[in-house]
């Protein structure tokens, strides 16, 4: 039996999912996330412990100048990754996550490797964040076992993810609001301290940039040591920004995606400039990189004592605030854990929709929740109980670092998919100006981001060789490449998947499903559609014998 469509509007969702091996009936997510929820989710993903805690390690190793430069470069890189992703996501909004774009626009094996990377990344991150929440509470109640809070918070975040997606959206919305207030408050506090608003009334200004200096030496003395200090800041900045692109996972459940997605993407620039760059700038004015308080913070791991912003408060001799910040850090950890389950569940759901994971993970409840995907993602909660042993905590720190490198690889996969997407538009004669959203300075910005991402990934293990070779660090920093390559080759040779050629890429199926926004004025729709020139596609589906799409 063969079904065919002579134009894009006849390519039904059922036919599309038959290609993936999964029927669409009863397996669709609900587009119920409002624009304000998606926008605040973008903020919630972007602002994590990498900024409020990890920035202190970068300041200690590289100094204020290196840290600020690294955040500006990495922030620019992330912005172009987001705008590249935004072009693909607004052109054909998909509910399959990053793996869906990689499979459709670049290579099915790349989609397989990307999707599973994201799933395992967030599966590992969930217990780490839950453990962090328990250790944060030990700041007040050291007599209570961390396992109590892992179980309590684990059940709560699982219930949130099993509820209607709007419940998840509202939860993250309010948690993100608390994050914003916290970050803004800390930035203002650092500026006030620098301007002489502390109890000591000392005006600091940029004196810490002059003494002890703007650039610190790391691992080696002299210029090479200062360069290594800057590179350590680049790696830390990459860790701080990881998660910014995760807002794209919500695009499959966003109402009116062609309006919601550009709005969320555009806010990325203001988040990067306002929270990251301004935040580290304020921090460098309030804390010298050789401060004993900062060195002590770097030796901590989770509680308020680990934050360089608390080091600034300690130096300024301000009381009480560490307790308030500790409570805010608890919000950061719980928000991250809740997001981890959401991202992991949508990643494996997208894989199942593409036939790259068991079909059961594509099943959804009537409220649109992928029940089995959420349960699979919640398995990470059980792993959190392993942290009762100190040795297990060390293992989890290794796994978190591994997850960070996996995410960096996925930036590269997004950019590879984007480059092939742009080539297909050119080959098939689709004018760039007809795209629902066009990123600033693209595709040149994506080229810059690819260059920076590759450099950070390749030289992430520099500290494995200096001052002497450390096998465990080397394996940790580069095993992600081995696993990623294995996943790619597994799907490539097992399924015989091939690269998606630009001239054969399907640029029409699903294009008109969200024509110019769900809330577009019908009177304007035909006029806008007339201005879009898209090649016709013939879709042939042969049930029981496979399927293929040919672009005419």
- Give per-residue pLDDT as tens, 502-515: 888 888 877 755 54
Per-residue model confidence as pLDDT tens digits over 395-423: 556 766 776 687 788 889 999 999 999 99
Q: What percent of the chain has pLDDT over 70?
A: 76
Q: Residue 227: what pLDDT?
A: 93
Of the listed ranges 167-171, 271-275, 397-401, the least confidently predicted one is 397-401
Q: Residue 436: what pLDDT?
A: 85
- Report which of 83, 66, 455 is spatially closest to residue 228, judged by C-alpha positions: 66
Q: Residue 306: what pLDDT?
A: 66
**DSSP β-ladder status, 546-551 and 537-542:** antiparallel
In angstroms, the CA 509 to CA 531 distance is 18
Residue in the block written with tokens 């049930």: 543
Q: Is 546 helix (H, G, I), strand (E, B) or coil?
A: strand
In angstroms, the CA 347 to CA 125 distance is 14
In angstroms, the CA 401 to CA 480 distance is 10
Of the listed ranges 21-30, 372-381, 471-480, the least confidently predicted one is 21-30
For residues 444, 450, 455, 456, the Cα torsion angle rounded to the nearest 10 degrees is 120
- Report which of 519, 524, 144, 171 is spatially closest to residue 339, judged by C-alpha positions: 171
Element (H, E) at 337: helix 321-353
Q: How confident is the model at residue 316 (pLDDT cuts 50, 70, 90)?
A: confident
Q: Residue 156: what pLDDT?
A: 92
Residue 288 has pLDDT above 50, yes or no: yes
Highest mean pLDDT among 21-25, 148-152, 243-247, 419-423: 419-423
Domain count, the chain: 1
Residue 136 has pLDDT above 60, yes or no: yes
**Mean pLDDT of all residues in 29-52:** 67
Per-residue model confidence as pLDDT tens digits over 422-452: 999 999 888 888 888 888 888 999 999 999 9
**Mean pLDDT of all residues in 146-166:** 86
Q: Does the CA dihedral 199-200-202-204 come out positive or negative? A: negative
End-to-end CA distance of the chain: 22
Residue 19 has pLDDT above 90, yes or no: no
Residue 21 has pLDDT above 80, yes or no: no
Highest mean pLDDT among 38-42, 242-246, 528-532: 242-246
Of residues 152 and 306, more confidently modeled? 152
Residue in the block written with tokens 């921090």: 283
53 near 309, Cβ under 8 Å?
no
Percent of residues in the chain assigned helix, strand, coil, to nearest 5: 70, 5, 25
Q: Residue 311: what pLDDT?
A: 81
Residue 128 has pLDDT above 60, yes or no: yes
Of the listed ranges 47-56, 396-405, 472-481, 485-494, the least confidently predicted one is 396-405
Q: Is 53 helix (H, G, I), strand (E, B) or coil?
A: coil
In angstroms, the CA 134 to CA 132 distance is 5
In angstroms, the CA 77 to CA 66 distance is 16
Q: How confident is the model at residue 251 (pLDDT cuts 50, 70, 90)?
A: low
Of residues 550 and 183, more confidently modeled? 183
Q: Tell me: cis bond preceding 351? Omega within 30 of 0 counts.
A: no
Q: Residue 12: what pLDDT?
A: 38
Domain extent, residue 481, equals 2-551
In angstroms, the CA 64 to CA 300 distance is 20
CATH number assigned to the domain comprising residue 110: 1.20.1740.10
**Mean pLDDT of all residues in 322-337:** 82
In angstroms, the CA 372 to CA 374 distance is 5
Beta bridge pairs of residue 546: 542
Q: Residue 33: what pLDDT?
A: 64
């Amino acid at each position: 039996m063969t079904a065919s469509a002579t134009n894009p509007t006849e390519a039904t969702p059922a036919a599309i999912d038959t290609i993936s091996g999964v029927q669409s009936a009863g397996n669709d997510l609900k587009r119920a996330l409002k624009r304000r929820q998606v926008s605040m989710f973008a903020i919630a993903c972007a602002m994590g412990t990498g900024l409020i805690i990890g920035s202190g390690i970068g300041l200690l190793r590289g100094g204020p100048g290196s840290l600020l430069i690294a955040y500006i470069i990495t922030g620019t890189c992330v912005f172009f990754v987001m705008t590249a992703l935004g072009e693909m996501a607004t052109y054909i909004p998909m509910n399959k996550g990053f793996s869906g774009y990689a499979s459709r626009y670049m290579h099915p094996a790349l989609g397989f490797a990307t999707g599973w990377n994201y799933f395992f990344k967030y599966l590992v991150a969930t217990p780490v964040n839950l453990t962090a929440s328990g250790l944060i509470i030990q700041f007040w109640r050291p007599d209570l076992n961390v396992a109590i809070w892992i179980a309590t918070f684990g059940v709560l975040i699982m219930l949130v993810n099993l509820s209607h997606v709007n419940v998840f959206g509202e939860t993250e919305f309010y948690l993100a609001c608390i994050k914003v207030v916290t970050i803004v408050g800390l930035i203002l506090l650092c500026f006030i301290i620098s301007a002489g608003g502390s109890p000591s009334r000392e005006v600091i200004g940029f004196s810490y940039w002059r003494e002890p200096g703007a650039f610190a030496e790391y691992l080696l003395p002299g210029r090479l040591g200062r360069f290594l200090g800057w590179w350590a800041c680049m790696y830390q900045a990459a860790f701080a920004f990881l998660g910014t692109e995760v807002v794209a996972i919500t695009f499959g459940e966003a109402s009116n995606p062609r309006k919601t997605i550009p709005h969320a993407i555009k806010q990325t620039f203001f988040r990067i400039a306002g929270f990251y760059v301004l935040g580290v700038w304020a921090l460098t004015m309030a804390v010298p990189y050789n401060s004993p308080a900062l060195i002590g913070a770097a030796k901590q791991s989770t509680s308020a004592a680990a934050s360089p912003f608390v080091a600034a408060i300690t130096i300024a001799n301000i009381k009480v605030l560490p307790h308030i910040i500790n409570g805010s850090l608890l919000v950061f950890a719980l928000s991250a854990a809740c997001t981890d389950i959401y991202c992991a569940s949508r990643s494996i759901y997208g894989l199942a929709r593409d036939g790259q994971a068991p079909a059961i993970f594509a099943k959804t409840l009537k409220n649109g929740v992928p029940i089995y995907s959420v349960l699979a993602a919640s398995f990470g909660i059980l792993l959190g109980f392993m942290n009762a042993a100190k040795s297990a905590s060390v293992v989890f720190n290794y796994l978190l670092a591994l997850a960070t490198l996996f995410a960096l690889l996925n930036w590269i996969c997004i950019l590879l998919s984007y480059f092939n997407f742009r080539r297909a538009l050119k080959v098939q004669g689709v004018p760039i100006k007809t795209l629902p959203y066009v990123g600033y300075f693209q595709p040149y910005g994506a080229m810059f981001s690819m260059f920076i991402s590759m450099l950070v990934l390749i030289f992430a293990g520099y500290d494995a060789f200096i001052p002497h070779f450390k096998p465990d660090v080397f394996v940790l920093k580069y095993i992600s490449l081995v696993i990623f390559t294995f996943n790619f080759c597994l799907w490539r040779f097992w399924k015989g998947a091939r690269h998606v050629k630009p001239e054969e890429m399907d640029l029409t199926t699903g294009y008109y499903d969200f024509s110019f926004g769900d809330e577009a004025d019908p009177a304007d729709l035909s006029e806008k559609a007339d201005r879009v020139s898209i090649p016709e596609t013939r879709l042939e589906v042969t049930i029981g014998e496979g399927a293929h799409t040919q672009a005419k």
